[in-house]
Copies of this chain bind each other. A is one copy, B any other.
């Protein structure tokens, strides 16, 4: 089950500047892919030793993607190389962060959650993506390999769209746009399942429905918690005044803010829908109960009095005049039929069947 907090136990009381990796170790070694590009050139590297990492050349824009955060000394080295604030470094390795944006002198630090549906394992994967956006570089830190950025890589390689002609702000935008596109995809999938639940509720309200409602509620709350704070972070980016975001890139970040707003509204709508569905489910169950009780009451109310009557004439009194009368038995049947009909009519009048 998804826990709200990542275990921070070990980090409690540590010096705020200390780097302690919080999370499970998800990759054997730190992996580092680097793409340097400008309008005319693209160079890709796989860097195996963090020591080989260098400041990007002046006339190029460098995207450095790091997978795996457990090797805190390597992270520290990268931080030193690119002049990352210690608090940002701490947040990168402590992967239980709330999505946020922080402004430093020559860089912007962004934490968002990368949520994707892992087709192989049929499960939702949620990991922390930390982005450091500098003048001519973008660093991305992931907990493990496997991400949603291949379309961006393709665009850089194939010189598609405006990405090759834009700065680090646009690259950061393109990466986050891809992440947000995946939010939509995930919420869409879940939303469809929730909407489909409605029919089940009205037609076959068994306890499986309730388990589904309960599990969808948990999932939607989990998504909400992961995505919602990102809206505020994104909105802050559009208001940055440290010159890191060029004038032309602002509309793109605004668009992204709109998109996240859209997603969070969708999440809220689905939350409300689930609450409504639970209410309706309860009403359906109550209605069923009524139907069950009606059947019980009809059977009991008709046959219990009749049984009583037969009981009367089943007694063994020596002197019971009706017993000797020849037509008693038939009269008994008459009385029985009369009582049964009257009660049936009574229930029909009440609209019970």
The answer to the question of A39 belonging to the interface, with a C-beta cut-off of 8 Å to chain B, is: no
Q: How far is the CB of A78 from chain B (nearest CB, A)?
A: 19
A9 to B286, CA, bound (A): 40
- Interface status of A301 (Cβ within 8 A of chain B): yes
Whether A214 and B280, one on each chain, are in contact in the complex, defined by CB atoms closer than 8 angstroms, is: yes
Residues of B within 8 A of A341 (CB): none
- A178: chain B residues at CB < 8 Å are 12-13
Q: Indicate whether A4 reaches chain B with its CB closer than 8 angstroms.
A: yes
Q: A181-B8, A292-B294 are in contact. Are A265 and B98 (CB under 8 A)?
A: yes
Contacts of A160 in B (CB 8 A): 15, 18
Contacts of A11 in B (CB 8 A): 181
Among residues of B, the one whose C-beta sits closest to the C-beta of A295 is: B297
A125 within 8 A of B: no
Mark the stretch among A68-76, A237-245, A322-330 that contacts chain B: A322-330
Q: Are A293 and B289 in contact (CB under 8 A)?
A: yes
With contact pairs A185-B8, A293-B296, A304-B303 given, residues A314 and B310 touching in the complex (Cβ less than 8 Å) = yes
Comparing A44-52, A58-66, A133-141, A254-262, the segment that makes contact with chain B is A254-262
CB of A118 to closest CB in B, whole Å:
15
- As for how many copies of this chain the complex holds, the number is 5
Q: Mark A185-216, 1 if CB is under 8 A from B, else 0.
A: 10110011001001000101001001101100
State in angstroms the CA–CA spacing of A289 and B282 once bound together: 12
Say yes or no for A119: interface residue by CB 8 A criterion: no
Please tell me if A311 contacts chain B, counting CB pairs below 8 Å: yes
Residues of B close to A265: CB separation below 8 A = 98, 225, 229
**A235 proximal to B (CB < 8 A):** no
| A42 part of interface (Cβ distance < 8 Å) | no
Contact A12 B270, CB 8 Å, known A98-B261, A282-B283? no
Contacts of A319 in B (CB 8 A): 326-329
In the bound assembly, the distance between CA atoms of A297 and B160 in angstroms comes to: 70
The interface bits of chain A over 153-176 (1 if a CB of B lies within 8 angstroms of the residue's CB, else 0) are: 001000011110000000001100
Compute how far the CA of A218 lies from the CA of B274 in the bound complex, rounded to whole angstroms: 11
Closest residue of chain B to A267 (Cβ to Cβ) is B4
Q: Does A145 contact B (CB under 8 A)?
A: no
Do B306 and A87 touch across chains, with their CB atoms under 8 A apart?
no
Residues of B within 8 A of A4 (CB): 188, 191, 266, 269-270
* Contact of A17 (CB < 8 Å), options: B8, B162, B229, B326: B162
The answer to whether B313 touches A323 (Cβ under 8 A) is no
B297, A254: Cβ atoms closer than 8 Å: no
A102 to B261 alpha-carbon distance, docked (Å): 15
Q: How far is the CA of A161 from the CA of B292 in the complex (A)?
A: 65
Chain B residues closer than 8 Å to A251, beta-carbon distance: 85, 87, 102, 104
8 contacts between A and B (CB under 8 A): A16-B255, A221-B272, A292-B297, A296-B301, A297-B299, A313-B316, A314-B315, A318-B325
